Structure 1
Amino acid sequence: MSDTSSALRIVWIYPDLLSTYGDQGNVLILRRRAELRGIATEIVRVHSSDPVPVEGDIYLLGGGEDRPQILAAERLRADGGLKRAAERGAAVFAVCAGYQIIGETYGDDAANPLPGVGILDVRSGRGETRAVGEIVADVDPALGVGRITGFENHQGRTAIGPSAKPLSTTVRGIGNDDATEGAYQGQILGTYLHGPALPRNPALADLLLRWRVGEIAPLPPSWGERLHDERLAAVL
Structure 2
Amino acid sequence: MTDTSSALRIVWIYPDLLSTYGDQGNALVLKRRAELRGIRTEMVHVLSSDPVPTQGDVYLLGGGEDRPQILAAQRLRADGGLKRAAEAGAAVFAVCAGYQIIGESFGDDADNPLPGVGILDIRSGRGETRAVGEIVADIAPELGGGRITGFENHQGRTHLGPSARPLSTTVAGIGNDGQTEGAYQGQVLGTYLHGPALPRNPALADMLISWRVGQIAPLEPSWGERLHEERLAAALNS
What TM-score does the superposition give when structure 2 sets the normalisation length?
Answer: 0.97
Q: Which is bigger in relative contact order (C-alpha 8 A, separation at least 6)?
A: 2
Q: Look up the equivalent residue of 1:150 and give its one-letter code.
A: G
Matched, 1:49 2:49: yes
- 1:171-210 equivalence runs, <5 A: 171-210=171-210
The two structures, once aligned, show a CA RMSD in angstroms of 0.7
Asked whether the 8 Å contact 1:198–1:204 carries over to 2, the reply is yes
Matched, 1:39 2:39: yes
Q: Look up the equivalent residue of 2:87 and give its one-letter code.
A: E
User: How much does 1:123 deviate?
Assistant: 0.2
SS of 1:150's equivalent in the other structure is strand
- Provide the residue aligned with 1:213 in structure 2: 213
- 1:4-43 equivalence runs, <5 A: 6-43=6-43
- 1:53-68 equivalence runs, <5 A: 53-68=53-68
User: How much does 1:145 deviate?
Assistant: 4.4
Map Cα deviations across residues 55-89 of structure 1 (whole Å, 9 max, x no partner): 00000000000000000000000000000000000
- 1:113-152 equivalence runs, <5 A: 113-152=113-152
Matched, 1:83 2:83: yes
User: How much does 1:49 deviate?
Assistant: 0.1
What TM-score does the superposition give when structure 1 sets the normalisation length?
Answer: 0.98
SS of 1:208's equivalent in the other structure is helix
SS of 1:175's equivalent in the other structure is coil
CA distance in 2, matches of 1:144, 1:44: 29
- Provide the residue aligned with 2:159 in structure 1: 159
CA distance in 2, matches of 1:131, 1:124: 14
CA distance in 1, matches of 2:23, 2:231: 18
Moved over 3 A (4+): none
Q: Look up the equivalent residue of 1:19 and give its one-letter code.
A: S
Asked whether the 8 Å contact 1:145–1:204 carries over to 2, the reply is no
Map Cα deviations across residues 120-176 of structure 1 (whole Å, 9 max, x no partner): 000000000000000000000111141000000000000000000000000000000
- Runs of at least 5 residues in structure 2 that lack an aligned partner in the other structure: none
Asked whether the 8 Å contact 1:145–1:207 carries over to 2, the reply is no
User: How much does 1:198 deviate?
Assistant: 0.2
Q: Look up the equivalent residue of 1:105 and give its one-letter code.
A: S
SS of 2:175's equivalent in the other structure is coil
Q: Look up the equivalent residue of 2:119 and give its one-letter code.
A: I
Identity, % of aligned positions = 85
- Provide the residue aligned with 1:70 in structure 2: 70
Map Cα deviations across residues 193-230 of structure 1 (whole Å, 9 max, x no partner): 00000000000000000100000000000000000000
CA distance in 2, matches of 1:68, 1:225: 33
SS of 2:43's equivalent in the other structure is strand
Asked whether the 8 Å contact 1:21–1:195 carries over to 2, the reply is yes
Q: Look up the equivalent residue of 2:74 and give its one-letter code.
A: E
Q: Look up the equivalent residue of 2:88 and give its one-letter code.
A: R
CA distance in 1, matches of 2:6, 2:170: 38
CA distance in 2, matches of 1:96, 1:232: 20
